[in-house]
Chain A
């Protein structure tokens, strides 16, 4: 099946019109579906739900990185704290040129650099830290932000993504306290707020709300956005980038998302947290995405 092949298409990281993001996000969603289908296990829901945020964060000319010299000492950092949604990070890195997209086929396989949860030991370009034990990545991001702001005295930005269920880990709030204590204006913490986790709705498994007020009380600049609205994602990240060097407050973006976004039979269903599509489901998902792609092309012609 041709859909199960990874093209070697890559996207540039540059300032671009908002109507170019849907196509990128769509490609990332296709890659997530295809790689998870090959893997036969893994986390579809959160990966699909964050595709729009990743598309803007990596391809909107906001984050500074260089795939051909990715360990450059002046790069901005991205730390995936919710390690289980690695498929969206892998898809993004592949499409940004960190490694060949065809390698997405090896997700979760023996000998692969694409470990089920990112591992630093396998040295995949673009991976800043191992992750998978929830709650740890955000403290790593705080450590990096302290290093850049107070020791290196550079303007490097640190982005991190946590889940919302992940916020139930107490250490997350230790990280929050620390971020404002050390005035980490260079930190941008994005919460994937899909109100889903493994056992059900986050507010039912263990209530974390109100979120906006909690982060504000911890000393953050907080903004709640629609995590599927490119204009809102772009302008919030842009504001962060523009203000970070002057800002003494860490930043929190609560991105309201839907788990499984983009695939009709997965959307907003927590049972898709940790399962891959089987062949039939993958074909259905990919054809839904292809239909969407045609619509996007038509729409762009009109605009």
Chain B
């Protein structure tokens, strides 16, 4: 991997192109617009298949429920807006008309996280992973780069059932190729290692790779980087293996630390193989205006934070082992 000269492409481009691909292979795929088609790039589909594109205007609740109606009539509707509005403005509609009905509606949540930048807190959705993953019947995917977003878009279009795809606005390192496997519910292990596992999604996967490289070079620590693109259904086996093999975990996401990927991983770990976990994410606060990279730095969503968290996780694991040994000694 060339860490210096990596090409950067926005994930939303993968979403737009994935929709066109789906449109070509399935006549039933339709797209609903929410007045920001050029931002979330549903505009690609609109240009290619104008007869299967419906502009609903700025009405996310309506669009979500219309999508449910289309799905109940045999169509495969996609509706996309900024994640702030396609996960929250329509929360009730998602819960009842989409998830409870268990209909084949696909929601795109674009411009997610702090990397939407200067628009500020109102537009920086940082809570939808925790909301969407608690909805029964839902599939939730948070892809990490352009190629993967395109594959994930096609994959949710081909599967049957309600799904939510969370992606971003800014150009991010494009580190997977067209050949990299993508399967819903199957995490990708990007680096081998048994010292610490870093489980990440979205923009933090790249930062995890950078952190793993530095940990190896500078500290001789081998980190297992896991791209947990599917948050729901979560890949139990890969997480349990990581807990068993590494004995400590760091989770990383551009999302609140509460209830997101970190929460999902912790639920699996605590039940099956409890080990120390460090959570990297937004520390229970709202976002603010700034440039994307500035904000990632400001909130500590960087490889440096990941390195420190990895070291802390390792220390906690080793101290814990000492403690267990100590308790065993006393009890003898």
A and B: interacting chains? yes
Q: Which of B35-43, B174-182, B271-279 contacts A (4 or more CB under 8 A)?
A: B35-43
Q: Which of A39, A121, A131 contacts B118 (CB 8 A)?
A: A39
Determine chain B's interface SS by DSSP, over half rule: helix
Which residues of B in the span 127-158 have a Cβ within 8 Å of any Cβ on A? none
CB of A133 within 8 A of chain B? Answer: yes
With a cutoff of 8 Å between Cβ atoms, the chain B residues found around residue A165 in the complex are 35, 57-58
A110-B288, A133-B89, A198-B36 as given contacts; A119 in contact with B121, CB under 8 Å = yes
Give how many B residues have a beta carbon under 8 Å from the other chain's beta carbons: 31
Residues A41 and B118 in contact, CB atoms below 8 Å apart: yes
- Cross-chain contact of B123 among A112, A117, A135, A206 (Cβ < 8 A): A117
Whether A197 contacts B58 by the Cβ 8 Å rule is yes
Report how far A205 CA is from B298 CA in the complex, Å: 38
Asked if B288 contacts A119 (CB within 8 A), the reply is yes
Q: Size of chain A's interface in residues, with CB distance under 8 A?
A: 34
* Interface check B56, CB cutoff 8 A: yes
Residues facing B in A92-124 (CB within 8 A) are 108-112, 114-117, 119, 121-122
* A205 close to B35 (CB less than 8 A): yes
Taking A119-B288, A121-B121 as contacts, is the C-beta distance between A133 and B84 under 8 angstroms? yes
Query: Please, which residues of chain A bring their CB within 8 A of the CB of B59?
Result: 168-170, 206
Closest B residue by C-beta to A43: B119
A166 and B295 within 8 A (CB): no
Contact in complex: B286, A110 (CB < 8 Å): no
The residue on A at minimum CB distance from B36 is: A198
Subset of 7 A-B contacts with CB under 8 Å: A108-B289, A116-B123, A117-B120, A119-B121, A119-B122, A130-B121, A168-B57
With A205-B55, A206-B55 known, 18 other A-B pairs at CB within 8 A are A83-B122, A108-B118, A108-B290, A110-B294, A110-B295, A115-B121, A116-B119, A117-B122, A121-B121, A130-B121, A132-B122, A133-B122, A165-B35, A168-B57, A169-B59, A199-B38, A205-B35, A206-B35
Top 4 nearest A-B pairs (CB, nearest first) are A206-B57, A132-B122, A110-B290, A168-B57
